[in-house]
Amino acid sequence: MARRGGELEAFIAFLGGLLAAGLTALAMAGVGLAVRPTPALKAAAMVTLGTVWLTVTTTVYLRLKPRNG
């Protein structure tokens, strides 16, 4: 009997994206200790974090999603 839905895959992908964004944030915090962040740099960091989270989440989900056929 095949499992349907994809909820488990979606949850794993969400956690993978969260982990990737968290690691990126830690790296950015380390750089922020060495370089004085400006408001523009902070805004770019937020956009980067959102992009990393979305990209990793989508990629992991599509790789885990069962293929038809």
Q: Mean pLDDT per 10-residue run, the chain (69 residues)?
A: 75 96 95 92 94 96 77
Which pLDDT score is estimated for 25?
A: 95
What does the pLDDT read at residue 69?
47
Tell me the whole-structure pTM to 2 decimals: 0.82
Show the 3-state SS of the chain: CCCCCCHHHHHHHHHHHHHHHHHHHHHHHHHHHHCCCCHHHHHHHHHHHHHHHHHHHHHHHHHHCCCCC
Burial of residue 21 (CB within 10 Å: 0-12, 13-18, 19+) is buried
